[in-house]
Amino acid sequence: MGISAVNSGEQVDRQTRILEAAMDLLSRHGISGVSMRAVAREAGVALGLVNYYYDDKTTLIRAALRRVDEHDLLLVAPDHSVAPDEQLRRALRRVAGADLLTTRYLSLRLHLWALAQADEDYAQINAAAFDRYIDGLAALVSSANPGLPWEACRERASDIVVIQNGMWLTALLGVDKASIQRSIARTEQIAFAPAEGPRADENGGRPELTQP
């Protein structure tokens, strides 16, 4: 089963070349642009090799999806070499980092979301990764605000994720960078809000929203 090891060091092995070609095409042209032939051409290999490493087209896409999910999870991975609140602050600012806010990555994410929406199989992988992301973020919030109950941490994490998703999406549509910066500040405000109290901080002193 296991695919062979190091390939002379110079260039990456063809299996990951194929996967990266698929991700590149997906981010640039959407799923309609990802045909097995196009992937093979982009990766510089023969058509048959794509099906050799990835049985199906769905297997290939699934691999891409998992890879991006994995990458996303790293954003909220705990890093014990820095203080908890600095750790959280860094994680929050990372999502506006130059490497993430590239069209290539954002577009890839968008297309994967769209795929997950259309296909039950992808949807499950996606939902699981989403949950783990919120959990990771909540854990960071928890260590930065010791004493805050876990449910409150998850609540904050959910609220932050809403804004982060909005930033990702809106960055793709070309909103101004200043708005992104303000949104980052808003996530920090949520993350570091004082314990609980009368919630005046969250609602700005206005009347509560009545459930419709």
* Long-range pairs, 119-125, Cβ under 8 A, ≥24: 119/58, 121/58, 121/62, 122/61, 122/62, 122/65, 125/62, 125/65, 125/66, 125/69
- Judged by beta carbon, residue 119 or residue 135, the one nearer a second copy is 119
Residues 95-114 that bind a second copy (CB under 8 A): 97-98, 103, 107, 110-111, 113-114
- Judged by beta carbon, residue 119 or residue 159, the one nearer DNA is 119
Neighbours of 160 (CB within 10 A): 25
- Judged by beta carbon, residue 49 or residue 140, the one nearer DNA is 49
Residue 65 Cβ, how far from DNA at the closest point, in Å?
A: 16
For DNA, the binding residue among 26, 49, 116, 137 (CB under 7 A) is 49
Contact status: 169 vs DNA (CB under 7 A): no
Quick one: tokens of 203? 């609602």
Q: What is the DSSP letter of 74?
A: G
**How far is CA 117 from each of CA 36, 91, 196, rounded to the nearest angstrom?**
22, 27, 36
Q: Which residues bind a second copy (CB under 8 A)?
A: 28-33, 93, 97-98, 103, 107, 110-111, 113-115, 117-119, 126-127, 130, 155, 158-159, 161-167, 169-170, 172-176, 178-186, 188-189, 192-193, 201-204, 206, 208-209, 211-212
